[in-house]
C-alpha cells in the first residue's frame, strides 16, 4: 500500500541465496500498460543469477489501483515505482545500497523518473524521453532497437538518436558512440548505448536484448550467482505458456460441443434450413462477398482507431485510449457490415429465401419468431462457457503464480475495478459480432456445416474471411518496419498495428467460437455473446492495453 492508501501490486522474485546474505535488487517495469508477468523473461534470468527482482504493476495496471498523485504525465509521478523501491529497501535480504531499475517502453520512462526520486545504482532504458538529471552517480544503459517504431515516429533516421539532447546530457558528450563504455561501472558513472537490429516489441522477449540486460546488471552490481549472460532458459517458459493457451482454447471448443449435446442445452440446436440463403460455394458472387467481408474491417481500421484514440477515459469506459481505439474500430466496422448486409439482402438475399430464420435471428425451428426463454438459455450457455474457462485461468494463476502471456499478449484474472468495466466493453462489442455473423449469411457452403468436416471447414473459412485482411496489414507493416521504418504513424497508428499481434489471435478465437456455435445451433445469439465476452475480457483484463485511467 502506498502513502496515500492505494494498493500496489508486484511480483517478487527471491532467490534462495538472498536469505543467506543481502542481495542486490532490480525493479523491472513493463511497457505498454502491461501487467507485471509480461516482463517475466527479464525477471527470470536476473533471479537465476541471485538478484532479488520486483516486477511492478504500475499505477492503473495489473492489480495496482489508480493513484492520481502517482501519474507520470499529469503529476510527474513515478507510477508507484517509489513505493516498490521503499518496500525493497526495508527487506533484510536486500542490499539497499544496490537497487537498480529498468523498463521497456513506457516502463523506461517510469524507471528513469524513479532515478530522480530515489538513489538507484542502475537505469536500463530502451526509449528516448526528456526528464531532469539526478544529482548523484548511477550507471545508465540504453538498449534501443534500430527499427523501434516509437523512436522512428519521432526521428527522420535512427542515427539521430546519438545526438538526442537528453541522452547526450546523460552521457556527457555531444555525440554518443554506440557500444562504447563511457565512465566506470565501479564508480557508478558508466554510460553505454547498445543498438540492436530489431523492433520495439522485440525488446520484451528478444534473446540479444535480454543478454545485454543481464550483462549490464551483472556489470553494475555483482551477481551472487554469476551465470553467463548466454545461458538463458526463459524460452522454455514461453513454450509452456503457449501450450497452456492452446489448451484453454481447445477447452472452450470442447466444452461448447459437450454442453450443446447435453440435455440442458440441446434445445438451443434448431433445425437447419433446407434452403439457406447465400451465394453458392465458390461462385462468382461468393468470392465477391468474401472479398468485401475481408476488406470492411481493413477499410475502417485507420479511421476507427484514429477517432477512438481521441476518446478519453470516462466512468464507463475506464481504460486508456488504445483499447478504446479498437472498440471504435469495431463499431465503424459494424456500420460497414450493416450497410453491406442491407444491400445484399434487398438485392439478392430476399430472392434466395433470406428471412429471420435463415439468417439466424429466429428462436424456434423454421419459424420467424423470438422467444425470451431461448435468449435467456443462450445467455446462460455463454455464461457457463465463459466462467468455466475463467475458472481454469484462476487455477493456473493461483497454483502456477503466473498469468498466460506471450510477447505482449497477456491473459489474467481481473480485479473488482476491472470487472466493473467489463459489461460496458461487452455491450459495445456486440454489434460487431452480431453483424459479422449476419453478413456472413451471404456465403453458402455445399457440405453439412453442422457437423464433421463441413463444420470445421465453414468455421475456418469464415474466420479467415474476417481476419485475413487485418493479418495481411500486420504482415506488410512488420516487413516494412523491419527493413525500414513504420509507413504510417498518425494517430498512434504504428502501435495499433503493432498490437494486432494480440488483437488478431483474440478475434480469431472469438470469431471461430462464435461461428462454431452458430453452425451447431443454427442461431447466432449464444455465439455473439461468447465472442463479445472473450474480446471484452481480453481488453479489460490486460492485453497490454488495459491501463485503468479513472
Q: Report how far residue 382's alpha carbon sits from residue 52's, in angstroms, rounded to the nearest whole number.
A: 43
Residue-level pLDDT at 278 = 86
Average confidence (pLDDT) over 398-420: 82
Decide which of 143 and 5 is more confident.
Answer: 143
Instruction: Kindly give, in sequence order, each residue whose CB lies less than 8 Å from that of residue 258, ignoring residues fewer than 6 positions away.
Output: none
Residues 486-543: tens digit of each pLDDT: 888 888 888 889 889 889 999 999 999 999 999 999 998 999 999 999 999 988 876 5
Backbone dihedral region of 246: left (phi > 0), alpha (psi from -120 to 50 degrees) or beta?
Answer: alpha
- Sorted by where each begins, the domain ranges of the chain are 9-232, 236-541
Residue-level pLDDT at 1 = 67
Q: What is the b/e burial string over 305-327, where b = at least 16 CB atoms within 10 angstroms of the residue's CB? A: bbbbbebebeeebbbbbbbbbbb
Q: Which of 478, 424, 42 is nearest to 217 (CA)?
A: 42
Q: Are 376 and 174 a contacting pair, CB within 8 Å?
A: no
Class of the domain covering 9-232: alpha beta
Q: Which stretch of DSSP H or E encloses residue 53?
A: strand 52-57
Instruction: Kindly give, in sequence order, each residue whose CB lies less than 8 Å from that of residue 459, ignoring residues fewer than 6 positions away.
Output: 512, 515, 516, 519
Q: Are 179 and 194 a contacting pair, CB within 8 Å?
A: yes
Residues 382-402: tens digit of each pLDDT: 999 999 999 999 999 888 888
Residues 184-208: tens digit of each pLDDT: 999 999 999 999 999 988 888 899 9
- Alpha carbon of 112 to those of 36, 191, 209, 408, 543: distances in Å? 18, 14, 18, 22, 24
Per-residue 3-state assignment (H helix, E strand, C coil) for 466-527? HHHHHHHHHHHHHHHHHHCCCCCCHHHHHHHHHCHHHHHHHHHHHHHHHHHHHHHHCCCHHH
What phi and psi values does residue 514 have, to the nearest 5 degrees?
-60, -45
> How are beta strands 122-125 and 94-103 bridged, if at all?
parallel
As a whole number, the mean pLDDT across the chain is: 89
Amino acid at each position: 500500500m502506498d502513502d496515500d492508501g492505494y494498493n500496489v501490486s508486484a511480483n517478487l522474485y527471491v532467490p534462495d541465496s538472498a536469505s543467506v546474505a543481502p542481495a542486490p535488487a532490480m525493479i523491472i517495469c513493463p511497457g505498454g500498460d502491461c501487467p507485471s508477468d509480461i516482463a517475466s523473461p527479464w525477471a527470470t534470468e536476473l533471479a537465476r543469477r541471485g538478484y532479488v527482482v520486483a516486477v511492478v504493476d504500475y499505477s492503473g495496471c495489473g492489480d495496482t489501483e489508480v493513484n492520481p498523485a502517482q501519474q507520470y504525465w499529469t503529476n510527474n509521478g513515478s507510477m508507484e515505482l517509489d513505493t516498490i523501491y521503499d518496500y525493497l529497501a526495508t527487506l533484510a535480504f536486500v542490499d539497499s545500497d544496490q537497487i537498480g531499475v529498468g523498463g521497456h517502453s513506457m516502463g523506461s520512462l517510469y524507471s528513469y523518473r524513479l532515478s530522480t526520486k530515489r538513489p538507484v545504482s542502475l537505469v536500463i532504458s530502451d526509449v528516448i524521453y526528456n526528464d531532469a538529471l539526478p544529482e548523484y552517480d548511477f550507471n545508465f544503459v540504453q538498449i534501443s532497437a534500430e527499427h523501434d517504431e516509437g523512436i522512428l515516429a519521432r526521428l527522420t533516421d535512427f542515427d539521430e538518436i546519438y545526438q538526442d539532447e537528453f541522452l547526450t546530457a546523460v552521457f556527457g558528450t555531444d555525440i554518443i558512440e554506440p557500444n562504447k563504455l563511457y565512465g566506470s561501472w565501479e564508480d557508478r558513472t558508466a554510460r553505454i548505448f547498445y543498438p540492436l537490429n530489431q523492433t520495439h516489441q522485440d525488446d520484451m522477449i528478444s534473446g540479444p536484448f535480454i543478454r545485454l540486460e543481464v550483462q549490464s546488471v551483472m556489470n553494475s552490481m555483482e551477481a551472487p550467482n554469476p551465470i553467463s549472460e548466454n545461458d538463458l532458459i526463459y524460452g522454455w517458459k514461453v513454450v509452456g505458456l503457449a501450450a497452456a493457451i492452446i489448451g484453454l482454447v481447445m477447452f472452450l471448443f470442447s466444452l461448447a460441443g459437450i454442453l450443446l449435446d447435453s440435455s440442458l442445452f440441446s434445445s438451443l440446436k434448431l433445425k437447419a434450413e433446407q434452403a439457406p440463403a447465400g451465394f453458392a460455394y465458390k461462385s462468382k458472387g461468393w468470392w465477391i462477398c468474401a472479398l468485401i467481408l475481408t476488406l470492411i474491417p481493413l477499410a475502417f481500421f485507420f479511421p476507427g482507431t484514429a477517432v477512438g484514440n481521441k476518446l478519453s477515459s470516462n466512468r464507463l469506459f475506464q481504460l486508456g485510449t488504445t483499447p478504446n481505439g479498437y472498440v471504435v474500430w469495431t463499431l465503424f466496422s459494424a456500420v460497414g457490415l450493416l450497410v453491406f448486409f442491407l444491400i445484399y439482402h434487398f438485392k439478392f438475399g430476399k430472392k434466395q429465401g433470406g428471412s429471420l430464420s435463415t439468417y439466424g435471428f429466429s428462436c424456434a425451428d423454421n419459424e420467424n419468431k423470438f422467444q425470451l426463454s431461448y435468449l435467456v438459455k443462450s445467455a446462460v450457455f455463454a455464461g457457463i462457457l465463459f466462467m468455466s474457462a475463467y475458472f481454469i485461468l484462476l487455477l493456473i494463476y493461483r497454483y502456477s503464480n503466473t498469468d498466460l502471456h506471450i510477447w505482449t499478449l497477456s491473459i489474467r484474472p481481473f480485479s473488482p475495478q476491472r470487472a466493473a468495466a467489463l459489461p460496458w466493453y461487452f455491450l459495445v462489442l456486440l454489434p460487431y459480432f452480431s453483424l459479422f455473423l449476419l453478413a456472413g449469411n451471404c456465403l453458402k457452403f455445399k457440405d453439412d456445416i453442422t457437423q464433421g468436416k463441413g463444420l470445421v471447414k465453414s468455421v475456418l473459412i469464415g474466420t479467415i474471411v474476417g481476419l485475413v485482411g487485418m493479418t495481411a496489414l500486420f504482415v506488410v507493416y512488420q516487413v516494412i518496419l523491419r527493413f525500414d521504418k513504420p509507413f504510417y504513424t498518425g494517430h498512434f497508428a504504428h502501435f495499433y498495428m503493432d498490437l494486432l499481434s494480440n488483437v488478431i489471435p483474440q478475434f480469431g478465437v472469438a470469431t471461430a467460437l462464435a461461428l462454431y456455435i452458430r453452425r451447431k445451433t443454427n442461431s447466432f445469439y449464444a455465439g455473439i455473446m461468447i465472442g463479445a465476452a472473450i474480446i471484452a475480457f481480453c481488453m479489460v483484463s490486460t492485453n497490454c492495453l488495459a491501463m485503468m485511467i479513472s
